[in-house]
Chain A
Amino acid sequence: MSRAAEESNRRLLRARDAMDRAYAQPLDVPALARIAHVSEAHFTRTFRAAFGETPHRYLQRRRVERAMFLLRETRRPVTDICFEVGFGSLGTFSRTFRDIVGHSPREYRKLAPPTTHVPNCFAMAWTRPSSQSSPSSFGEVSGDARS
């Protein structure tokens, strides 16, 4: 692997970190492409080559991970959580959540495992639902995943 490829990975990681922070905002491809030092046209392709999924899918999983946390840890209405994590409509949220987690948000809230608090980097990475559509993908550790 060339030094240039390592530097490209590192910049893409920086862009992914920015997505983690601004997960509730719309996907800002121009800004992320600037962070990654690639053209807008190439951002999605290079991101996928590095991390195995598109930026859009990564952002969906990040938002769903946040929603799972809020469903577990609060009694807030599902609609509030949907908008707080960045979805524009309850229909899209419910469909995406079920596609990724394998349960509806309300079902997940009933079934969610008890919380164990671990450092946030671990909680964020390990409670993020699988990138594969799955009948149930939330059996990992749960944790305090605020960010």
Chain B
Amino acid sequence: MFNAITQSQIYVLDQDDALDFYVGKLGLEVAADVPLGFMRWLTVSVPGEPGRQILLEKPGAPAMSEETAQQVRELVTKGAMGGWLIFTTDDCRKTYETLLARGVEFTEGPTERPYGIDCGLRDPFGNRIRFTQPLG
């Protein structure tokens, strides 16, 4: 049966802006950036973890109708699309300060939870992201 999750997907409204954010600010690295003609296959991963990639997909035709793509874009910008990413970190507060200095938009600062310390942010498009420093 299965032994890993290798690819996940999140909708972004502009792939260049997504690269600026996910790579330039969050510090992920490009795993693949391939112009396929019909789409740009753009994936990122945590440095040193190429086995788990996130596809930064731009909604649009012909994968879906323009009308549906507009609905997806609307849901993303309302924070209702359901794209979620949760990362782990060794030091939540330090990572928070680093990303805050880079202009990342946080929804919650570092907070102690039963499962560790974590905080929340949004990407430029409205998707939610969290990162957690798990309990030692």
Contacts and interface: CB of A to CB of B under 8 A. Distances in A.
A146 interface: yes
B118 A9 contact: no
Contacts of B40: none
Interface string B61-98: 00000000011011001110000101000000000000
Contacts of B108: 21, 120, 147
Contact of A13 (B79, B86, B130, B132): B79
Given A6-B13, A14-B105, A120 B84 contact: no
Contacts of B113: 117, 120, 144, 146
A51 interface: yes
For the side of the interface on B, what is the size category? 20 to 34
Given A20-B107, A21-B108, A10 B77 contact: yes
Interface in B1-26: 13
Nearest to A17: B107
A119 B86 CA distance: 9
A9 B86 contact: no
Nearest to B128: A121
Nearest to A13: B79
A78 interface: no
B77 A13 contact: yes
Nearest to A16: B79
Contact of B125 (A10, A12, A121, A147): A10
A144 B132 CA distance: 14
A38 interface: no
B110 to A, nearest CB: 11
B126 A13 contact: yes
Contacts of A9: 74, 77-78, 126
A121 B114 contact: no
Nearest to A18: B107
A50 interface: yes
B120 interface: yes
Given A10-B125, A17-B107, A147-B111, 11 more contacts: A1-B70, A6-B13, A6-B73, A9-B77, A12-B78, A13-B78, A13-B122, A14-B105, A16-B79, A120-B113, A122-B84
22 contacts: A1-B74, A5-B74, A6-B13, A6-B74, A9-B77, A9-B78, A13-B78, A13-B79, A13-B122, A13-B126, A14-B105, A16-B79, A17-B122, A51-B78, A117-B114, A119-B130, A119-B132, A120-B130, A121-B84, A121-B130, A147-B108, A147-B111
Interface of B: 13, 70-71, 73-74, 77-79, 84, 86, 105, 107-108, 111, 113-115, 118, 120, 122, 125-126, 128, 130, 132
